Amino acid sequence: MVICGAGVIGASVAYNLALRGIASVVVERVAVAHGASGTAAGLLTPVPPSQESSPVGQLATRSMECHRYLAEELDGRNQYDFAEVEALVVATSAAERRFLEDAYGKERVMAPPDRNGWLDREVAGAVAVEGAAQIHPGKYTRTLLEAACAMGARVVQGDVQGIRTERGRVTAVLVSAETVETSRVVVAMGPWSAEAEAWLRMPVPVTPLKGQILHYAMRDAPEGLFSTLDGNYAVRKPDGVVFAGTTEEEAGFDLSPTDEARDGIGKWVSSVSSRFDGQMPVGQTVCLRPLSEDGLPLIGAVPTFEGAYIAAGHGRKGLMLSAATGELLTELIATGVCTSMDLGPFDPGRFRTMPRSLA
């Protein structure tokens, strides 16, 4: 079994395969957790009740259960800073408050100020989200791969250049100058997964979504997390550093931090919390999230060749959805069918007939 990509999705697949006794070769071009899997904020936030029945909502709910199980099995608190966190979702307008009331229930929406030590400026309302947690994404990814390697997997550095097939079946993966014989392959290359279109002979409409995060060395920062409906957030990490973000930029594979992002993030966090007044970030990181054309991940078997699978396009929810993605895709690989959850909405073949303009 060859897994292309040593980000959090590839690591989760390798770990779950190893649990079933299936050894894998994980091929990584640069380094384990090189991309967003190493620089994201590491937030695990349950979806609102109104979204639990949606395909992504079901995947997220199952993944949250998996994350808690993994934290017990892999000593997450010590190995990758797994920790429960008090989370607030904030409405900054009357319209957003109505959205919160519809999503969570009117009785759950409260009117701060200062529910958790962060919010001391006027907002329209907030909801306390139960069951939220945070982890260190890079440590989590490396912990999964180390556990998988202890059960027979191995990680190799190389550049995947193609897939060899015969009579409609995968027979090998071309890695740099080497041919790795295999009958099964998983493409999990994050925003670079579109490179596999030529290998798989099918559309893989996954593009990078640039996100920037500011780091603050803030004295006596409150514990906990607050976020807004448009995806902005601020959270104190276990080492005391505060992460605030983020942007959503269609900028290709550009990884340059920008003054515009720094100023924009600083402005919005100061609009709801005076703790950011006069604060200058001590760091600014950039990551690229893999966004699919229709907003849903691609998880499942590739229809063009037997033995080819893909797990990509998780957008901003890659870390959150990684645990269930690895579990469910492994079930499909190992048994030929996934009965634990319907993977139909995530079928990679759906783009073969979908007009790009209608996705």
For the chain, the domains span: 2-72+136-204+294-358, 86-131+208-292
Report the C-alpha gap between 224 and 312 in whole angstroms.
Answer: 30
359 residues of the chain, pLDDT tens digit each: 999 999 999 999 999 999 999 999 999 999 999 999 999 999 999 999 999 999 999 999 999 999 999 999 999 999 999 999 999 999 989 999 999 999 999 999 987 655 568 888 888 999 999 999 999 999 999 999 999 999 999 999 999 999 999 999 999 999 998 899 999 999 999 999 999 999 999 999 999 999 999 999 988 899 889 998 888 999 999 999 999 999 999 999 999 999 999 999 999 999 999 999 999 999 999 999 999 999 999 999 999 999 999 999 999 999 999 999 999 999 999 999 999 999 999 999 999 865 443 33
Our measurement of the distance from residue 55's CA atom to the centroid of its chain's CA atoms, rounded to an integer in Å, reads 16
Q: Say how far apart CA 190 and CA 63 lie, in whole Å.
A: 18
Please state whether the peptide bond connecting residue 285 to the residue before it is cis, i.e. omega within 30 degrees of 0. no
Let me know: does 199 contact 161? Beta carbons within 8 Å.
no
In angstroms, how far is CA 33 from the centroid of its own chain? 12
Q: Give the integer Cα–Cα distance in Å for 288 and 36.
A: 6
245: nearest Cα among 278, 284, 212: 212
Residue 166 near residue 305 (C-beta atoms within 8 A):
no
CB-CB contact of 44 with 134 (8 Å): yes
Torsion 263-269-271-277 (CA) sign: negative
Contact 40, 9 (CB under 8 A): no
Q: What is the largest CA-CA distance in the chain?
A: 65
For the stretch 225-262, pLDDT in tens is 999 888 899 999 999 999 999 999 999 999 999 999 99
pTM, rounded to two decimals: 0.94
For the segment 182-196, what is each residue's pLDDT rounded down to a tens digit?
A: 999 999 999 999 999
| Topology agreement, domain 2-72+136-204+294-358 and domain 86-131+208-292 | no
Side chain identity, residue 280: M
C-beta of residue 128 within 8 angstroms of C-beta of residue 115:
yes
Q: What CATH number labels 2-72+136-204+294-358?
A: 3.50.50.60
> What's the CATH code, domain 86-131+208-292?
3.30.9.10
